[in-house]
Amino acid sequence: MTICGYLIDNENLAELKVLGVKDSKLLTEAKRDELYPLLKKIAHDFIVLKVSAEEIDKLRSESNLNALEIERMQHIINMFNPDKVIIDSPEVDTSSFSKKVMAKVRNKKINIVAENFADKKYPVVGAASILAKVERDSEIAKLHKKHGFFGSGYPSDEITIRFLKDWIKKNKEFPSFVRKSWFTSQWIKKEKEQKSIGKFLSK
C-alpha cells in the first residue's frame, strides 16, 4: 500500500490545472509517468509512505485497514504541519473520519477537509494520487521481474486471481508480497481446502 502526502504553496495550485492533473485512475500510465517528475518539482514537499503486505497483515490483527491509513495520514500531517489538509476519505461518514484523523494531529488549528472522491475534485489530491500510483506501479514492476507477471495486483484483476490460484496449488502458503488478510486470498485458500476435502471424501 502506498500513501502520499503532497504539500504545495497556494500560489502554485493553478499550475496543477495547467498540467492537467487529475485522479490517477483517469490518466494513462504514460501521462502519470510524464507528470511524476513535474509534480515533484513544483511541490513544496512530498512524501510517499509504503506499507508492506506483511506489515498490513500484522497490523490488521489489531486494527482495520482504515485505522492503519489514518495513523499514516496523521504522521504526514504532523510532519508537514500545513494550514489546510484535503483528504480522499475511505469512509462514507466524512465528518467522523475527519475527527478520527484530527484526534492525533498536534496542531489543532489545521483545517481538515475530508471528502469521498476528493482525488477527482481537487487537483492537489490528484497530484498525491499520481505520485502514490507511480510508486506503487514501480514496486509491482519489481515483483513482476522476480515472480513473473501477475497483473495489477488488484482484487478485481482476473490475471491476479489466476496467478494466486496457480501459486496456492503448488505451494502451501502465498508469497510474502501477498496480503494474507485480503478477502481474495482467504477465499482462494478456502476454495483450495474445500477441493482437497472433496477429493479425500470421494476416495
| Positions of E strands within 81-192 | 84-88, 111-115
- The pLDDT, as a whole number, for residue 2 is 94
How far, in Å, CA of 170 to CA of 165, rounded? 9
How far, in Å, CA of 4 to CA of 72, rounded? 9
SS3 181: coil
Cβ neighbours of 47 (radius 10 Å): 17
Low-confidence ranges of the chain (pLDDT < 70): 60-63, 192-203
Residue 12 is given by DSSP the state G
Tell me where in the chain the CATH 1.10.10.460 domain(s) lie: 149-202
Tell me where in the chain the CATH 3.30.420.10 domain(s) lie: 2-143
- The pLDDT, as a whole number, for residue 61 is 59
- The pLDDT, as a whole number, for residue 201 is 46
State CA 29 to chain mean position distance.
Answer: 16
Specify which residues 115 forms β-bridges with. 88
CATH superfamily of this structure's domain 149-202:
Ribonuclease hii. Domain 2 (1.10.10.460)
- The pLDDT, as a whole number, for residue 169 is 86
| Strands 45-50 vs 2-7: parallel, antiparallel or unpaired | antiparallel
Cβ neighbours of 129 (radius 10 Å): 25
How far, in Å, CA of 62 to CA of 178, rounded? 18
Domain 2-143 -> CATH class: alpha beta
Q: Among 42, 5, 6, 29, which Cα is nearest to 133's? A: 29
Please tell me the pTM assigned to this model: 0.83
- The pLDDT, as a whole number, for residue 32 is 97
- The pLDDT, as a whole number, for residue 195 is 58
